[in-house]
Structure 1
Amino acid sequence: MSIKITRRSAVLGLTSTLATPALLSAQQYVPSQPAAQRRNASSFVTQDWRDHFDTLGKGVIVADTSSRALHYWNAEGTDYRVYPTSVPMTDELTKRGYTKIVRKKVGPTWTPTKSMRERDPSLPEFMEAGAGNPLGTHAMYLSWPAYLIHGTHDTRKIGRRSSSGCIGLYNEKIAELFAITPVGTQVRVL
């Protein structure tokens, strides 16, 4: 009995052999794996606005830096949305607590803070709105100076510790959130 090995069967055999370890490791994924070992993925933790605020007021946002997710509820509590986010690079850069949206801007300009420029002297003193601007297409300013909820043009940052203190969303998601979030919305950063 003679077995004819064609180029096609050799390639298919090699491909299935190489793919087997990847398939096996994918089957070994453990959801309870510590967050520090996960890569660029949000592991949303369910939130309830009542655990953080007495009333909805104009609406509420809970930015959960541990699960890298932003939770939004409208003033009536009928619209609940969850967005994946980027979060501050380190705990030292993370301001936690209660604040609110005090201003909104489409096409924000960017002025890096003094501490940002000390960490990275190559940063510009000022940047106009546009494709290279790290604040993306929309920004919502918090009552804490220099802290924002904003978009990003660099989609690799979402789901990661990558900001200098702000909460970042995909540009299309910040545009959606921007449209439904009034100035005065209560915010809690966990």
Structure 2
Amino acid sequence: MRWTRLLAVAGVAFACSLPAPVIGQGSIPSPTIRDRDPGVDGNQGFTLPYEFRRQAVFYRTHEAPGTIIVNTHDRFLYLVQGDNRAIRYGVGVGRDGFQWGGVHRITRKQEWPDWTPPPEMIQRQPYLPRFMAGGPGNPMGARALYIGNTVYRVHGTNAPETIGHSVSSGCFRLVNSEIEDLYERVPVGTKIVVQHR
């Protein structure tokens, strides 16, 4: 149920590897679930709840087939297939204050990306590692799709339990098996529409 997913739990969010919007000191919004520490892989043995598993759905849009649409309110990513169909993936999204919207293109793709927390994130969370090589415990997960010239990405995660929550600094995370699937389906240049109300 929606209300159970929205219970705020104290914790620290480890999301994108790039800067998020600047927020005044002392006013950083809490995520809706505690994030997993970098270096710890939670994907082994995890079962994604059914509603967030990849599935073909009825989806009305005027966007062309191949377009990615991220609905930050409902926490789903849609890959438009045409004929009122889409492939739907569950995602984790930015917590309050770190959400955004717009239209961009996928400008780069990367397998097992490295993670370098930016200065803004280090300032908020000084205990973070300054660099982490790509791998199963990396918060960027198995794949990353870079969004335009923004600081955001669609990427995997080492914390699959955060799918369906608002936890990141603005990036969109999928479980590793789902981002691997999406990564194979979309080329560089793919249009991505981020809907935020």
Q: Fold-level match, TM-score > 0.5?
A: yes
Deviation sequence 1:127-164 (CA, Å, 0-9, x none): 10012210000000011332000001211110111111
So what's the TM-score if we normalise by structure 2? 0.68
Asked whether the equivalents of residues 102 and 193 of structure 2 are also in contact (C-alpha less than 8 Å), the reply is yes
- After TM superposition, give the deviation of residue 78 of structure 1 in Å: 8.6
Partner in structure 1 of residue 171 of structure 2: 166
2:69 corresponds to which of 62, 68, 88: 62
- After TM superposition, give the deviation of residue 46 of structure 1 in Å: 6.8
Partner in structure 1 of residue 118 of structure 2: 113
Structure 1, unaligned stretches of length 5 or more?
1-30
The structure that has the greater radius of gyration is: 1
Partner in structure 2 of residue 179 of structure 1: 184
Greater per-residue helix proportion:
1
Asked whether the equivalents of residues 68 and 84 of structure 1 are also in contact (C-alpha less than 8 Å), the reply is yes
**Letter matched to residue 80 of structure 2:** W
Deviation sequence 1:24-82 (CA, Å, 0-9, x none): xxxxxxx7xxx4x2327869x974331xx4x44xx2011011000000025x6697200
Partner in structure 2 of residue 49 of structure 1: 61
**Letter matched to residue 38 of structure 1:** T
Partner in structure 1 of residue 30 of structure 2: none
Distance 1:162 1:95 in 2: 14
Q: Percent identity?
A: 34
Q: Structure 1 residues 156 and 172, CA, compared in 2 at 3 Å: closer, same or farther? A: same
Structure 2, unaligned stretches of length 5 or more?
7-48
So what's the TM-score if we normalise by structure 1? 0.70
- How many correspondences in the alignment? 149
Q: Bigger relative contact order, structure 1 or 2, given CA contacts below 8 A and separation 6+?
A: 2
Partner in structure 2 of residue 87 of structure 1: 93
